[in-house]
Amino acid sequence: MNREELVRKRQELTDRLAAIRRDLGGGLARDLEDQAQQLENQDTLMEIARVTEQELERVERELSALDRGDAP
């Protein structure tokens, strides 16, 4: 990826993490069935957040390498 693509990818990942954090930060519904579904969804969102954070770290490393001139 070139620098422009990496910067775009970094923004996409940052936006995705922000949306996930907003979703995770919301309170639980009053209805017990809805709460159960929300808790299941939280596990999924947490895994998506973990993978997204890893991808963001990779993109940051690639951008740093480009800035240092280490990239091929």
How many Cβ atoms are within 10 Å of 6's Cβ, its own excluded?
Answer: 19
Q: Residue 4 — very low, low, confident or very high, per pLDDT cuts 50/70/90?
A: very high
Say yes or no to pLDDT of 71 above 70. Answer: no
Mean pLDDT over 7-25 rounds to 95
Tokens of 15: 């936006």
Q: For the segment 26-39, what is each residue's pLDDT rounded down to a tens digit? A: 888 889 999 998 88
Q: For the segment 53-66, what is each residue's pLDDT rounded down to a tens digit? A: 999 999 999 999 99
